[in-house]
Chains A and B, each alone.
Chain A
């Protein structure tokens, strides 16, 4: 009886821990994505009409920024509703 209760409590604790970790990761991941967006826009902004750093920085970093380049191009299409995206991550209805 006590063992069953203990097992249930452990399972509950693990589930709660997992949920909390997942939630924390989700929020930090979103922050990382946003920072990466800003980084991509700063370095590659010239491709979407935003003032860019000295051109050689873009040229030097571009070969290592394929993912960021794709991200930025896709962001251009979803940029009409950035708040909606933020609220969905933060679970605000």
Chain B
């Protein structure tokens, strides 16, 4: 049994069919006997409409080998704030902790907390997925998704800067100790240790996004707005060294040629899925579509031969 499942991210503009494509891919993998977990990271949570059943933080089995769960960002935000508040109560004097409560209430409205909640949930999902062969993430629309993928990098820039400053402080304290008592007697600096542990944590997360196990599928439709946004997503991800494995051109129709595709979206990475004749809602409808598109899904999950990550 695999201890490190393969990860598939489905990203793209709102409404292009990320949820449907990720659900179909999850069903395809499950049908192939792979123990699969489909995770809805999109606050809109379309998976419950597609599978016509409610989901929650607790994975729910929908067919053999496939479970689905929804990430509740409010739950993860509250959990994170609660942990900090409890730690403050443990370490601060009563008076300081009491005075801080008013400031603390404001923190839940801080920008950036939503993507951090997603990142914490992502970490938790992977921590519990050692029995899975594949984990599929149906991502939120572009803006939130890009902030999510950038977060470990941005955080590491800050953490490294803070660690440098903290080291300077510790070195100067050592000098003071040496001058005063002739020896270098220093208590361990908890903040420096915390910074080092946070750097380790965010480096792991960043490396997970960049690893060979993680595959990025950029979903788009055959229209100019969708093309433009797909190109921008690709560039933004390239800035943080994340490459696109497959460009999924979804809902294609006869008479709408793909020649207009931007050159930056390499043609050998394309996976094309035609528009379904009916509505793709419900397990039966999805399985029928999947039956007709077996080859396309098999192709989607095969890495393009000529390239690797980051190109």
Query: Which A residues are closer than 8 A to B by beta carbons?
Result: 21, 24-25, 28-29, 31-32, 35-36, 38-39, 42-43, 46-47, 53-66, 69-70
Q: How far is it, in angstroms, between the C-alpha of A48 and the C-alpha of B160 when the chains are bound?
A: 23
Q: How far is it, in angstroms, between the C-alpha of A63 and the C-alpha of B52 when the chains are bound?
A: 44
With A25-B180, A56-B80, A59-B80 as contacts: A64 and B191 at CB distance below 8 Å: yes
Please name 27 pairs of A and B residues whose Cβ atoms are closer than 8 Å in the assembled complex, sorted by A: A21-B179, A21-B180, A25-B176, A25-B179, A28-B176, A28-B179, A32-B172, A32-B176, A35-B168, A35-B172, A38-B165, A39-B162, A42-B161, A42-B162, A42-B165, A46-B110, A53-B162, A54-B151, A54-B154, A56-B113, A57-B155, A57-B162, A57-B198, A59-B107, A64-B190, A64-B191, A66-B96
CB distance from B268 to the nearest CB of A (A): 37
Chain A contacts of B179 at CB under 8 A?
21, 24-25, 28
Main secondary structure on A side of the interface with B: helix
Q: How far is it, in angstroms, between the C-alpha of A80 and the C-alpha of B231 when the chains are bound?
A: 50
Among B96, B159, B198, contact of A70 (Cβ-Cβ < 8 Å): B96
Task: Let me know if B103 and A47 touch, CB within 8 A.
Answer: yes
A-B residue pairs, 8 tightest by C-beta: A63-B87, A53-B158, A55-B110, A59-B84, A56-B116, A66-B92, A32-B172, A55-B112
Query: Which B residues are closer than 8 A to A by beta carbons?
Result: 80-81, 84, 87-88, 90-93, 96, 100, 103, 107, 110-113, 116, 151, 154-155, 158-159, 161-162, 165-166, 168-169, 172-173, 175-176, 179-180, 190-191, 194-195, 198
With A32-B169, A35-B168, A42-B165 as contacts: A61 and B151 at CB distance below 8 Å: no
Chain B contacts of A56 at CB under 8 A?
80, 112-113, 116, 155
Task: Let me know if A61 and B195 touch, CB within 8 A.
Answer: yes
Task: Let me know if A54 and B103 touch, CB within 8 A.
Answer: no
Among A28, A35, A46, A65, contact of B191 (Cβ-Cβ < 8 Å): A65
CB distance from A59 to the nearest CB of B (A): 4
Q: How far is it, in angstroms, between the C-alpha of A69 and the C-alpha of B84 when the chains are bound?
A: 15
Chain A contacts of B112 at CB under 8 A?
54-56
Among A31, A39, A53, A69, contact of B166 (Cβ-Cβ < 8 Å): A39
Chain A contacts of B80 at CB under 8 A?
56, 59
Q: How far is it, in angstroms, between the C-alpha of A35 and the C-alpha of B166 when the chains are bound?
A: 8
Q: How far is it, in angstroms, between the C-alpha of A35 and the C-alpha of B195 when the chains are bound?
A: 16
With A54-B112, A62-B88 as contacts: A35 and B169 at CB distance below 8 Å: yes
Chain A contacts of B100 at CB under 8 A?
69
With A47-B103, A53-B158, A63-B87 as contacts: A31 and B172 at CB distance below 8 Å: yes
Nearest to A57 among chain B residues (CB) is B158
Q: How far is it, in angstroms, between the C-alpha of A55 and the C-alpha of B92 when the chains are bound?
A: 20
CB distance from B125 to the nearest CB of A (A): 18
Q: How far is it, in angstroms, between the C-alpha of A69 and the C-alpha of B103 when the chains are bound?
A: 12
Task: Let me know if B88 and A39 touch, CB within 8 A.
Answer: no
Task: Let me know if A55 and B165 touch, CB within 8 A.
Answer: no
Q: How far is it, in angstroms, between the C-alpha of A66 and the C-alpha of B174 when the chains are bound?
A: 21
Chain B contacts of A28 at CB under 8 A?
172, 175-176, 179
CB distance from B153 to the nearest CB of A (A): 10
Chain B contacts of A57 at CB under 8 A?
155, 158-159, 162, 198
Task: Let me know if A54 and B116 touch, CB within 8 A.
Answer: yes
Chain B contacts of A38 at CB under 8 A?
165
Please give 6 more A-B residue pairs, beta carbons under 8 A apart, in addition to A42-B165, A60-B84, A65-B191. A24-B179, A42-B162, A55-B113, A57-B162, A62-B88, A64-B91
Nearest to B91 among chain A residues (CB) is A63
CB distance from B91 to the nearest CB of A (A): 5
Q: How far is it, in angstroms, between the C-alpha of A46 and the C-alpha of B112 when the chains are bound?
A: 13
